[in-house]
Amino acid sequence: MNKHILIVDDDAHIREVISFALEKAGMQVTLAEDGRQALQQFSASAADLIVLDINMPEFDGLEVCREIRKTSEVPILFLSSRDDEIDRILGLEIGGDDYVTKPFSPRELVARINVILKRINAAPKTAIETNSLQHGKLCMQVEQHVISWNDQIISLTATEFAMLLLLMRQPNRVFSRDTIMNSAYSNNVYVSDRTIDSHIRHIRQKLGDAGCEAVIETVHGVGYKLASCQ
């Protein structure tokens, strides 16, 4: 079944370029020219992923993301004409899965979208892994894409889930940022260390809100690992 992508951008040319690239890749697309129209379209027909421009007048992409995150964890890939690190981190921390700066390569955009979609539907990577992973009261149902703490469900984006899954598979191992990046984004997509740190910070915040404090430990100069957990 073709994946359904909602494209949101106030520039008609950009919408046309993305739409052409995605349809050529075998995907179904719906277009929205502003934030309010995007919410209406998403409410009418839920998408498998949203390509969302940040810099739109009146109701921008960050506001759209906040509204959608109230009810859905659909993957969101942000677009922006500003290569601003603060803007980038803010976009990821409110629930974005990836970030592409304009001007961009349509081929790269399609590749990043495919990485996110494949990650959502990916089966466990090893034959010995069971569907359920446990770390103290932290429990992950891999195939169902569900994470919980003390039976309380925690909503993670696809990227956040992939990162936490890597840590939970080998709870005693310290993972470098490069290893985490390759696991979450695949080897042909590069993101900065700041972006990895932003995702980890967001995972910590969500776990902490559920009562699971300090479960991800920073090993300075190396990377991250799971801390002792009760």
Region 87-96: what's the mean pLDDT?
A: 75
The CATH number that domain 4-121 falls under is 3.40.50.2300
Give the integer Cα–Cα distance in Å for 2 and 113. Answer: 13
**Residue 70 φ/ψ region, left for φ over 0, alpha for ψ in the -120 to 50 degree band, beta for the rest:** alpha
- Alpha helix positions (H), the chain: 12-24, 35-44, 61-69, 85-93, 106-121, 158-169, 177-185, 193-209
pLDDT > 70: percent of the chain: 90
Count other C-beta atoms under 10 Å from residue 98's C-beta.
Answer: 25
CA 56, 60, 62, 67 torsion-angle sign: negative
| Token pair 């379209």: residue | 41
Mean pLDDT of the chain: 85
> What does pTM read for this prediction?
0.64
Domain ranges of the chain: 4-121, 132-226
Pick the CATH number of 132-226 from 3.40.50.150, 1.10.10.10, 3.30.70.580, 3.30.750.24: 1.10.10.10
Given a cut of 80, is residue 84 above it in pLDDT?
no
- H or E element that contains 226: strand 223-226
Q: pLDDT band for position 1 (50/70/90)?
A: low
Region 34-41: what's the mean pLDDT?
A: 94
Region 14-18: what's the mean pLDDT?
A: 96
> Exposed/middle/buried for 131, CB within 10 Å: 0-12, 13-18, 19+?
exposed
Q: pLDDT band for position 186 (50/70/90)?
A: low
Give the integer Cα–Cα distance in Å for 148 and 138. Answer: 6
Given a cut of 60, is residue 121 above it in pLDDT?
yes
